[in-house]
């Protein structure tokens, strides 16, 4: 690998998806993985195979079908973990990687693992060697590296390289490091660890102090040539280093990061960002760097005047370079199925015939209510369609009555198999009435944890997209739901129904509960 080439290791589907409420269905993971390949990432960390059967199956399917990037599975230095990861990435052949990790800091050794230094070294050796039975592409992470004593960290890295690791990741697991500290750690480990010239060093930074991107770039300046990151910066707690920010920082500041390049197709960034946002039902903050709606907006008269005279006065990047720009020719209610299928393919979606028909039906409904259907409208429609593997309940009709001084009422009919189930209910507001009526039909009782609504495009006839999370079990994780319609009340009902179907499809269980006990870099 050329010394000026930075590998982009995307962990959206692993560390990003472990963010509470961000769980994706297997189908959503596959769509995101395909888009990551189009984006040009070098490595996709597709999941944590031992965490659940669903995770194992998703990693295996991505390894089987996605071509281009290396497909990676995470594992603790535990035989069962490593064997599961090896089996999951096997379909990727020479493009398969196993990423093993082990806590090395004093606090992890004493309170999490209860093991002495020599035992940590033995476990690291055994773990890497076992992973090498499955693939020659093995990455090792000393978890909580940034809080590990430097002498012991050097020793652990030497041990892992000696056992066969070809990539060494030094994670800032808790987001504790500052850029100067993090960069110095890389410089010292690379200089002191025997065999370091035979390994690629990687950064993996969390954003607890808002320093994830800065720390990642500092690591690169000190010799790291792989950066682990996620789209939109999603991840545990405050998130991970944001891929889009790192890539554009390297590209924009070539005076600082001289000759350093990535293989990212930057014009795919906005599209990729929106796909991930739709898949995990996490809205992108308007002021989010690079991909937020305000990233290239200017309201100040002084700024607008400067932009009109010369864009570079207030913009350091061309918005079109990251995928912003004029939308493609919008569709109308007269557009046919083939035209919709073509636009969806251009947007990165490969739908099955039944899925395409469902999206097309929703497209026609919206086309009857608004003049144009834009790309963002289609993304919202298809994103809602692939949320769950199957629909236990589907919306047949929804009617609400409300007014000043009148208690809101909702009349709803749901399809359940061949049956139509209907009920009427009331609530404190129209949305509350709709959700309670759906509960009355399904027999479930959901507690709304989060509710967000946004206009997908501009105009009074804009599609309203609702993202929400619902807890159906006090001990379980919330189920996410998302839907779009020109009527926000309808969007709310559809989104709530999507969360209900998702919870049922996952067996009414907390699919992430086990995973969070496993730990990770």
The pLDDT tens digits of the residues spanning 378-401 come to 877 877 666 655 678 999 999 999
d(CA 398, CA 411): 6
Q: Which CATH class is domain 394-505?
A: alpha beta
- Are both 7-280 and 394-505 of the same fold? no
Q: What is the rounded average pLDDT of the residues 354-372? A: 84
Helix (H) or strand (E) holding 272: helix 269-280
pLDDT at 390 (0 to 100): 66
Domain definitions of the chain by residue range: 7-280, 298-325, 337-385, 394-505
At 88, is the pLDDT very low, low, confident or very high (cuts 50, 70, 90)? Answer: very high
Q: What is the CATH number of domain 7-280?
A: 3.20.20.70
Which string of b and e fits 294-308 if b means at least 16 CB within 10 Å? ebbeeeeeeeeebbe
DSSP 364-376: HHHHTTSS-B-HH
Is 70 exceeded by the pLDDT of residue 310? no
pLDDT in tens, 12-47: 999 998 887 777 888 889 999 999 999 999 999 999
Q: Which residue has the higher pLDDT, 118 or 367?
A: 118
pLDDT value of residue 511: 40
pLDDT at residue 51, as a whole number:
94
Average pLDDT over all residues of the chain: 89
Q: Rounded distance, CA 381 to CA 376, Å?
A: 9
pLDDT of residue 1: 46
pLDDT bracket for residue 314 (50, 70, 90): low
- In the chain, % of residues over pLDDT 90: 63
- The stretch 38-67 carries a mean pLDDT of 97
Alpha carbon distance 343, 337 (integer Å): 10
**Per-residue confidence (pLDDT) for residue 516, from 0 to 100:** 42
Q: Quick check: 329 pLDDT over 70?
A: no
Residue 509: pLDDT band with limits 50, 70, 90: very low
The H-assigned helical ranges of 116-261 are 117-132, 150-163, 179-192, 212-221, 243-252
Rounded to whole angstroms, the maximal C-alpha distance in the chain is 77
DSSP 5-65: BPEEEE-IIIIITTSTT----HHHHHHHHHHHHHHT-SEEEEE-GGG-HHHHHHHHHHHHH
Stretch (H or E) spanning 469: strand 464-471
User: Six-digit token pair at 431?
Assistant: 């949305």
- In whole angstroms, what separates CA 33 from the centre of its chain? 10
The pTM of this model reads 0.84
Among left, alpha and beta (phi > 0; psi -120 to 50; other), residue 348 is left
* Predicted confidence (pLDDT) per residue in 218-268, tens digit: 999 999 999 999 999 999 999 999 999 999 999 999 999 998 999 999 999
Higher pLDDT among residues 311 and 425, named by residue: 425
Statement: residue 62 has pLDDT above 80? yes
What local confidence, expressed as pLDDT, does residue 513 receive?
40
Mean pLDDT of the 172-190 span: 98
CA distance linking residue 167 with residue 128, whole number of Å: 11
What average pLDDT score do residues 409-425 get? 95
């Amino acid at each position: 690998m050329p010394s000026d080439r930075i590998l982009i290791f995307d962990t959206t589907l692993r560390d990003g998806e472990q963010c509470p409420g961000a769980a994706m269905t297997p189908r959503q993971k596959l769509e995101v993985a395909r888009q990551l390949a189009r984006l040009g990432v070098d490595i996709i960390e597709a999941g944590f195979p031992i965490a659940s059967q669903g995770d194992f199956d998703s990693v295996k399917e991505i390894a089987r079908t996605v071509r281009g990037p290396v497909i990676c599975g995470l594992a603790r230095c535990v035989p069962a973990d490593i064997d599961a990861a090896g089996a999951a990435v096997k379909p990727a052949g020479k493009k398969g990687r196993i990423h093993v990790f082990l806590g090395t800091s004093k606090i992890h050794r004493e309170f999490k693992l209860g093991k002495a230094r020599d035992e940590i070294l033995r476990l690291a050796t055994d773990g890497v060697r076992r992973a090498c039975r499955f693939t020659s592409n093995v990455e090792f992470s000393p978890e909580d590296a940034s809080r590990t004593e430097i002498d012991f960290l050097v020793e652990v890295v030497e041990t892992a390289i000696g056992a066969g690791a070809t990539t060494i990741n030094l994670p800032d697991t808790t987001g504790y490091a500052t850029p100067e500290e993090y960069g110095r750690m890389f410089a010292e480990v690379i200089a002191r660890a025997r065999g370091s010239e035979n390994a690629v060093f990687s950064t993996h930074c969390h954003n607890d102090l808002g320093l994830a991107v800065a720390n990642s770039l500092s690591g690169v300046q000190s010799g790291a040539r792989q950066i682990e990151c996620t789209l939109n910066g999603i991840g545990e707690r405050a998130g991970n280093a944001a891929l889009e920010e790192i890539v554009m920082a390297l590209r924009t500041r070539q005076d600082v990061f001289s000759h350093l390049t990535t293989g990212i197709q930057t014009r795919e960034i906005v599209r990729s960002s929106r796909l991930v946002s739709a898949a995990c039902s996490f809205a992108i903050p308007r002021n989010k760097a690079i991909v937020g709606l305000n990233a290239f907006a200017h309201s100040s008269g002084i700024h607008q005047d400067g932009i009109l005279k010369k864009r570079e006065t207030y913009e350091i990047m061309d918005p079109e370079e990251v995928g912003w720009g004029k939308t493609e020719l919008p569709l109308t209610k007269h557009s046919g199925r083939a035209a919709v299928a073509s636009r969806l393919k251009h947007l990165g979606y490969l739908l099955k015939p039944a899925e395409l028909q469902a999206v097309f039906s929703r497209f026609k409904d919206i086309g009857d209510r608004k003049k144009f259907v834009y790309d963002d409208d289609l993304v919202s429609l298809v994103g809602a369609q692939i949320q769950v593997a199957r629909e236990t309940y589907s919306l047949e009709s929804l009617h609400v009555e409300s007014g000043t001084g009148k208690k809101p009422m909702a009349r709803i009919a749901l399809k359940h198999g061949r049956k139509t189930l209907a009920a009427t209910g009331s609530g404190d507001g129209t949305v509350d009435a709709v959700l309670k009526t759906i509960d009355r039909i399904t027999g479930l009782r959901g507690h709304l944890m989060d509710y967000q609504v946004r206009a997908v495009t501009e105009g009074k006839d804009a599609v309203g997209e609702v993202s929400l999370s619902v807890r159906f079990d006090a001990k379980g994780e919330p189920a996410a739901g998302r839907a779009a319609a020109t009527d926000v009340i309808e969007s709310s009902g559809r989104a709530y129904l999507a969360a209900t179907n998702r919870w049922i499809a996952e067996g009414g269980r907390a699919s992430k509960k086990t995973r969070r006990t496993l730990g990770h870099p």
